[in-house]
Amino acid sequence: MSAFHADRIFDGTDWHEDAVLVVEDGRVARIARDVPGAQRVAGWILPGLVDLQVNGGGGVLFNNDPSAEGLARIRAAHARLGTTSIMVTLITDTPEVTARAVEVAAASDVMGLHLEGPHFAVARKGTHDPGLIRPMGAEDLRRLEDAAGRVRLLCTLAPEVVGVDAIRRLVAAGAVVSLGHSDATAGEARAAADAGASMVTHLFNAMSPLTHRAPGLAGAALDDARFRVGIIADGFHVDDAVLRIALRAAAGRIFLVSDAMSTVGTDIAAFTLNGREILRQGGRLTLADGTLAGADIAMIDAVRHVVDLGVGLGEAWTMASALPAAAMGDASRGGLRAGQRADFVAVDEGLGVNGVWIGGVAP
């Protein structure tokens, strides 16, 4: 048993003042008032952050280095910043790189693998290489079904490209299906939800927009309660006024993602993706033509951003912990209630990270 005493502890729902987090066998045993010998922790204790869209960190981009060593560096870079669970993300790439990513993620201790592409609408490619985007063939579907049996799998795809039968099969195989990089109508998005799609990837970015007569995928995401909705809160991907509207419209369903690239935790000024240079300037990552290419934030930065917009800390933290975990159907993460994983973070009042523990142990 180990115990951690802090001025405040947030269990995912409630705040506990002058309390002790008790950990046994890597799990939360209880939150108590007084435990002799408890370790004093500077700041407040909150659940570890959960990020479903991590492309890289620590100088490593998973597409460029889909290896156990590369993944370990990515995970460590985010852990230092309070993110204790990641869905490592591979964006559109070759079948060979994708197969390697599945092997590496399945053998690791990350939360799972997010395959963002390659089955997209080319018109909504964003920074993805159009030469690698393709329809989903029978062999592609079979490989994804196999992968879903080996690793927790999140698949971002365009429903109008893939079709509802493929979505049904992926969900039946155990994958979580998210809609993104898509020109789908609201009706096509709802049909995908009928087939089992349950998530929308980086709301507003690389998707059919919301207009007053054509709601598109963005409108369906905000209107249809069956969708859990990810959003990048970095001040660049979504204007703050629109971010505030989305937070109100999809309250309880909308969660934060970083879309982090290899720059997180480093001072590197540029890197390559599928042979193209990505530039880091003024908090933005872009291709040479100015197209946004992922984000230069970790999850703690997204939390700070929405708190600065007036969202309460408990609500903001839930959007970065319990809600993304719930979107993946994982009740063991994102909170500090009895039986949950003892993954937690200590922060100061300015949301600076004072310490991180995974399974009750500092990494």
Asked if residue 274 has pLDDT above 90, the reply is no
Helix (H) or strand (E) holding 75: helix 68-79
What band does 90 get if pLDDT is binned at 50, 70 and 90? very high
- Distance of alpha carbon 259 from alpha carbon 141, whole angstroms: 25
Span 206-231, pLDDT tens digits: 999 999 999 999 999 999 999 999 99
**Catalytic residue flag (residue 18):** no
- Distance of alpha carbon 332 from alpha carbon 343, whole angstroms: 10
204 Cβ contact partners less than 8 Å away, ≥ 6 residues apart: 218, 231, 237, 238, 242, 246
Decide if 46 contacts 11 (C-beta within 8 A). no
The structural domains of the chain, with segments of one domain joined by +, span 2-45+346-357, 49-334
pLDDT for res 6: 98
Decide if 337 contacts 22 (C-beta within 8 A). no
Asked if residue 297 has pLDDT above 90, the reply is yes
Q: State the sign of the Cα–Cα–Cα–Cα dihedral 44, 49, 55, 60.
A: positive
Percent of the chain with pLDDT over 70: 100
Q: State the sign of the Cα–Cα–Cα–Cα dihedral 49, 52, 53, 59.
A: positive
Decide if 44 contacts 6 (C-beta within 8 A). yes
Q: Which two tokens stand for residue 317?
A: 């933290």
Span 150-172, pLDDT tens digits: 999 999 999 999 999 999 999 99
Q: What are phi and psi of 50, to 5 degrees?
A: -125, 120
What band does 16 get if pLDDT is binned at 50, 70 and 90? very high
pLDDT for res 363: 86
SS3 67: coil
What band does 359 get if pLDDT is binned at 50, 70 and 90? very high
Asked if residue 268 has pLDDT above 90, the reply is yes
SS3 294: strand
pLDDT for res 348: 97
Task: From residue 95, give the alpha-carbon distance in Å to each of 140, 159, 285.
Answer: 8, 20, 26
SS3 80: coil
- The model's pTM is 0.97
- Distance of alpha carbon 161 from alpha carbon 98, whole angstroms: 19
Catalytic residue of the set 11, 93, 259, 343: 259
Percent of the chain with pLDDT over 90: 97
- Distance of alpha carbon 178 from alpha carbon 180, whole angstroms: 7
Asked if residue 23 has pLDDT above 90, the reply is yes
Decide if 50 contacts 85 (C-beta within 8 A). yes
Q: Which two tokens stand for residue 160?
A: 């109008």
pLDDT for res 134: 96
The CATH class, in words, for 49-334 is alpha beta
How high does pLDDT run on average in the chain?
A: 97
